[in-house]
Amino acid sequence: MASLPSSLPLAFCFAGQGAQYHHMAADFMETQPVFRRWMEIGDKILRLSHGFSPLAQIYAAGRTLSDPFDRLEHSHPALFMTQFATAKMLQDMGVRPDLILGVSLGEFVAMSLSGMVPFETALRAVARQPAIFADTSPAGALVAVLGPPDLRVQSAILTDLTEVASFNAERHCVLACPAVDTARVLAELRRLDVAFQPLPVPFAFHSRWIEPARERYLASVSDLTFEQPFWPVWSACFARPLAVADAEANWRIVRDPIRLGQTIAALEAAGGAHYLDLSPTGSLAAVLRQALAGDSPSRISALLSPFGGNLKRLEEIRRTRG
C-alpha cells in the first residue's frame, strides 16, 4: 500500500451486503484487543436479544473463505459489527476520520460510529431487518456487473427482469432481480459478453421487490432517535451528507438505488479525500477507483482483504495517519 497522504481529509468508508465472508478480520480478532472487545460486546448483545452468536458464525471452524456467508440473519449483524469494530480499533490508534461515507448497510455503521445512533441501538435495528424481509419480500438476488448502468435498457430481458440497484461508476453497476429470474438474467449477461459476479445476498435490496417490507420496516425504526453526527456522514443513497435521519430516511437507505458515483462526484467537487475502505473485502476501494477521474487529487486505500496482509496495512495506516 502506498504512503497515505495526511494533507487530504480522511474518509472512513463502509460497505453493504456482499462484502462479508467467513473468518473476516480473523487476524484482528486474534491480535487487536480493541477490535476484539467491540466484537465481543456486539456478540453479547445479540446472544441476549436474538439468541445467536455472530462470532460463532463468522469464525466457525468448519467454514472456509469459499463457503457462502449468505444467511442474512447472520451476515447482516456480522458485517455491521466487523466494520464498526475496525473503525474503533483505528480510532484507538489515533486514526480518526474527517468524514464518513456509508454505502447501504454501511450507512448504519456510519451513523453509529458518528454518534447519530448508539452502537447497541443500531446493532439491534440491523439485526431486526432480516426477519422483516424474510416475512414480507420474495427471495431475490444482486449481481455486480462490469458494465454501464444503461446496459439494462439495451436488453429486453434485463429491462423486464431487473432494476439497477447501484449506480457505481461509468462502467460498474449492480442489478437486482427476483431469485426466480436469476438464471435468465445471468444467461443474458453471458450472451452480452459482460463480466458479472452474483453477490451473497438473498433479497433484491434497493429495488421494488422489497417494497412489501415498507410498513413493517418503518414500524421497526419508528422509535429511533438520531443525534447530530460528530463528523459529516455522507450517504450513498442521498449523495450528500445526512443532516437529519428519521424512519423514512432509514427505509430509503435500503429501498432506493445506491448513487455511489454521484456521491463521489459531490465529494470530489468539495475537494476530494483520502478514501479508506474499511469493508472486509476491500472491494469498495476497487469501485471507488472506477468512480474517480484520472486527474483527481484523491487517494484510495483498503485495510482488509480475504487474502491476508491486514496487519501490515494496519501498521502502515497507524504510522502515517495516527
At 146-190, the pLDDT tens digits run 999 999 999 999 999 999 999 999 999 999 999 999 999 999 999
Mean of per-residue pLDDT scores for the chain: 95
Q: Which amino acid is at 309?
A: G
pLDDT bucket at 16, cuts 50 / 70 / 90: very high
Q: Which amino acid is at 114?
A: S
Written as nine digits, the cell of 165 is: 440497484
Give the C-alpha distances (Å, rounded to integers) separating 30 from 238, 307, 310, 311, 316: 37, 16, 12, 11, 19
Average pLDDT in the 97-122 region?
98
At 31-56, the pLDDT tens digits run 999 999 999 999 999 999 999 999 99
With a cut of 90, say whether residue 271 has pLDDT above it. yes
With a cut of 90, say whether residue 243 has pLDDT above it. no
Average pLDDT in the 279-289 region?
94
Average pLDDT in the 256-281 region?
97
Q: β-strands 240-241, 140-145: how paired?
A: unpaired
Correct CATH for 10-136+208-321 of 1.10.10.10, 3.40.366.10, 3.40.1110.10, 3.30.70.420: 3.40.366.10
10-136+208-321 and 140-198: identical CATH topology: no
With a cut of 80, say whether residue 1 has pLDDT above it. no
At 207-239, the pLDDT tens digits run 999 999 999 999 999 989 999 999 999 999 999
At 59-94, the pLDDT tens digits run 999 999 889 898 999 999 999 999 999 999 999 999
Q: What is the pLDDT of residue 264?
A: 97
HEC assignment per residue over the chain: CCCCCCCCCEEEEECCCCCCCCCCCHHHHHHCHHHHHHHHHHHHHHHHHHCCCHHHHHCCCCCCCCCCCCCHHHHHHHHHHHHHHHHHHHHHCCCCCCEEEECCHHHHHHHHHCCCCCHHHHHHHHHHHHHHHHHHCCCEEEEEECCCHHHHHHCHHHHHHCEEEEEEECCEEEEEEEHHHHHHHHHHHHHCCCCEEECCCCCCCCCHHHHHHHHHHHHHHCCCCCCCCCCCEEECCCCEECCCCCHHHHHHHHHCCECHHHHHHHHHHCCCCEEEECCCCCHHHHHHHHHCCCCCCCEEEECCCCCCCHHHHHHHHHHHHC
With a cut of 90, say whether residue 294 has pLDDT above it. no
Written as nine digits, the cell of 111 is: 451513523
- Of the candidates 100, 15, 8, 98, the residue with the CA atom closest to the CA atom of residue 296: 8
In this structure, CATH architecture of domain 140-198 = 2-Layer Sandwich (3.30)
- Phi (first) and psi of residue 108, to 5 degrees: -70, -35
Sheet arrangement for strand 10-14: 240-241, 233-235, 99-102, 10-14, 274-277, 299-302
pLDDT bucket at 6, cuts 50 / 70 / 90: low
pLDDT bucket at 321, cuts 50 / 70 / 90: confident
Decide: pTM greater than 0.75: yes
Give the C-alpha distances (Å, rounded to integers) separating 94 from 70, 97, 311, 315, 322: 34, 10, 16, 12, 4
Q: Do 221 and 125 form a contact (C-beta atoms < 8 A)?
A: yes
Q: Domain segments of the chain: what residues?
A: 10-136+208-321, 140-198
Q: Please state, in angstroms and rounded to a whole number, the distance separating the CA atoms of residues 104 and 83.
A: 13
Q: Give residues with Cβ within 8 angstroms of 156, minimum separation 6.
A: none
Q: What percent of the chain has pLDDT over 70?
A: 98
With a cut of 70, say whether residue 5 has pLDDT above it. no
- Of the candidates 69, 71, 33, 19, the residue with the CA atom closest to the CA atom of residue 50: 71
